[in-house]
Amino acid sequence: MIDLFIIPKGRTGGSLLATMLNAHSSISMGYELYPDKLINDDGTYFTIQILANLISSSRLYDSDNLNIKSIKYNNIKTFCARSARSGITLGDIVNALNFFNKNTILNNLDSKLDFIDRLLIIQKNKYKKIIVGSKMKVDPYILYKRNPQAVFLMMVRDGRDVLASRLTNGNFNTNPTECAHDWVNSINDFQNFLRIPKVKGVFIKYEDLVLNSKKSLSIICELLNIEYEESMTNYLSRQQPLFMNSYGQLSAAQIQDGLNSNSIGKWKRILSKKDVLTFEMIAREKLIEYRYL
């Protein structure tokens, strides 16, 4: 069973939160181990045996980076690179695959999540942690059904900063109207999810995490029944796999700069007046609710 999930929305600070949680002596966090990449590039499915053989055959070099680059299928290459961000090696992936019947077909969400769960548990044991979590781009209702004891987190950040970041980082292919609706809908969806009586979860504001990290992180620790540790705020003092194996992770360089407020209010420097007015017209109610207006 997985103990903790960050339900990610692009450019809201989920990777920073995962890194800070991973710095706790009891918490092991995975980065973006998403099931949508456990499929062949042509849309066909892998069996456990075929996938294990594929990854095993790539382990021909001394460098982990070269090993991953040698994988011929882009989806699996991406999954393995994201695993490396969490300190999970190709050998760990093969060991996780070997836990299952070799004829099992990874053709549905449950089978893929079973494998990812096993991989996260291997990671937890490897780093001698007692709590395991991950960023997971999966419907939280599905994750809750599988892990009813888990804590669920979602980052919320000023939507105008989210828009500014999506326009200038990565390949989000967005615009003010689309981004505003996505921002509002994602908050509404998670608010509705948190209304389930037994769900344990909370929104974490990016701005609070940066400016008053101890308070934000203490709320999460209380939900997990563990004590807050200063190492979470001082996460740079702990060895982090993400910093050694970022593999193009969009936020890795910024996270390594340490906590700062440079990205708060970035929208004022980047967005046009038209962009701001368009976003605020759609998202005004939520911007007010979260005290961004």
Please state which CATH class domain 1-26+132-293 belongs to.
alpha beta
Structure tokens at 180: 């505003």
Please give the pLDDT value at position 63. 57
Q: Map out the domains of the chain as residue ranges.
A: 1-26+132-293, 32-129
Beta bridge partners of 152: 5, 201
Please give the pLDDT value at position 253. 85
- Scanning the chain, the segments in alpha helix (DSSP H) are 14-22, 48-57, 64-69, 74-85, 90-97, 109-126, 140-146, 159-168, 176-194, 206-211, 213-224, 230-233, 241-244, 252-256, 267-270, 273-289
Residue 133 has pLDDT above 90, yes or no: yes
pLDDT tens figures, 11-57? 999 999 999 999 999 999 999 999 999 999 999 999 999 999 999 88
Mean pLDDT of the chain: 94
pLDDT tens figures, 260-293? 999 999 999 999 999 999 999 999 999 999 999 9
48 Cβ neighbours under 8 A, 6+ residues apart: 97, 100, 101, 102, 103, 104, 105, 106, 115
pLDDT tens figures, 157-191? 999 999 999 999 888 999 999 999 999 999 999 99
pTM > 0.75: yes
Q: Give the model's confidence band at 66: pLDDT under 50 very low, under 70 low, under 90 confident, else very high.
A: low
Q: How far apart are CA 105 and CA 164, in angstroms?
A: 41
